[in-house]
Amino acid sequence: MAKHDKSDIGISTLLNPVPVVMISCAGKDPKDAKQRPNIVTVAWAGTINSEPPMVSVSIRKSRHSHKLISETGEFVINLVNKSLAKNCDYCGVRSGADEDKFASCGLNAVKADGLDYAYYISESPVNIFCKVKEVKELGSHDMFIAEIVGIKADSYLLDDEGRLCLDKAKMVAYNHGEYFVLGEKLGFFGYSVATPEVFEKRMGYKKDRDKYKRLREQEPKKGKKY
Ligand SMILES: Cc1cc2nc3c(=O)[nH]c(=O)nc-3n(C[C@H](O)[C@H](O)[C@H](O)COP(=O)(O)O)c2cc1C
């Protein structure tokens, strides 16, 4: 069988890989066990607009978090790195209706400034504060469409000019039901048309001559530069 022979494999939510994130939220009375800060794992999350910056997260009505987010209109998207992966999975198989997931995972809840009720996960490298603008009932899931109103990042991820270097964070992606830590950097936005000088600078050519050679050899023959 030739390598690119195709088979029909049915219709499903197969778009992969996707981000997997830990959404933190809380009710209006954090001292009430049913409203305390909670964490829900979500893979149906995405960026949907640049100006203003907006995201969507799709959550089933049956989730405890659905109630909390519906009540307050707030949540925080906490990005997941390698050291959070197990907690991320745990928060996706246990309900905040039955337990305090911050306590079970040994994670710290910190009040999100600019939001009235939501907390963020201190151990997550990047925390994205969101305010719900609209809810769309799609069928199995309700899609919360939200505007980003603030972001915190671990300081070690910032370079001398204050730019975020997310490649240092050992980020996790979710691919067809499995978690992976991101591996080899292949390029950057526009690298297919970058000059050799820009490519070398951005990819650290001087530090890794063999890797640069390997990447160049992978490029399509018709490529304009290099
Ligand atoms: C990797 C992973 C991804 C998930 N993605 C979603 C999702 O996108 N939407 C959703 O409603 N539930 C999703 N879940 C399931 C919820 O996280 C799970 O039902 C959780 O226990 C609900 O917690 P809660 O009752 O405290 O809100 C996911 C679970 C895992 C492990």
Instruction: Provide the residue ranges of all domains of the chain, joining segments of one domain with +.
Output: 18-181, 186-226
Q: Is the pTM of this model over 0.85?
A: yes
Q: What is the pLDDT of residues 17-34, one digit of tens each?
A: 999 999 999 999 988 999
- Which token pair is 171? 């980020």
Residue 67 tokens, joined: 């109630």
Cβ-based neighbour number of residue 124 at 10 Å? 27
Other C-beta atoms within 10 Å of 26: how many?
A: 29
Residue 174 in contact with ligand 1 by CB distance below 6 A: yes
pLDDT at 223: 47
Cβ count within 10 A of residue 82: 14
Q: Is the CB of 36 under 6 A from ligand 1?
A: no
Q: How far apart are CA 67 and CA 74, in angstroms?
A: 11
- Does 202 sit in the ligand 1 pocket, CB within 6 Å? no
Ligand 1 atom nearest to 96, measured from its CA? 26
Q: Tokens 């390698």 belong to which residue?
A: 82
**CATH classification number, 18-181, choose in 3.30.470.10, 1.25.60.10, 2.30.110.10, 3.40.50.1390:** 2.30.110.10
Pocket-testing residue among 40, 72, 80, ligand 1, by greatest number of atoms within 8 A of Cβ = 40
For 116, other C-beta atoms within 10 Å of its C-beta total: 12
The sheet with strand 21-25 has its strands ordered as 38-42, 21-25, 74-79, 126-137, 141-153, 54-60, 45-49
Splitting the chain (226 residues) into consecutive groups of 10 residues, what average pLDDT does each group show?
91 98 96 95 98 98 98 98 98 98 98 97 98 98 98 97 95 98 94 89 70 67 47
Q: Is the peptide bond before 52 cis (omega within 30 degrees of 0)?
A: yes
Q: What angle do CA 56, 178, 45 make, to 5 degrees?
A: 0
**pLDDT over 70 percentage in the chain:** 92
**How far is residue 97's CA from residue 89's CA, in Å, rounded to a whole number?**
17
Q: CA-CA distance, 128 to 148, in Å (whole number)?
A: 7
CB 176 within 8 A of CB 16: yes
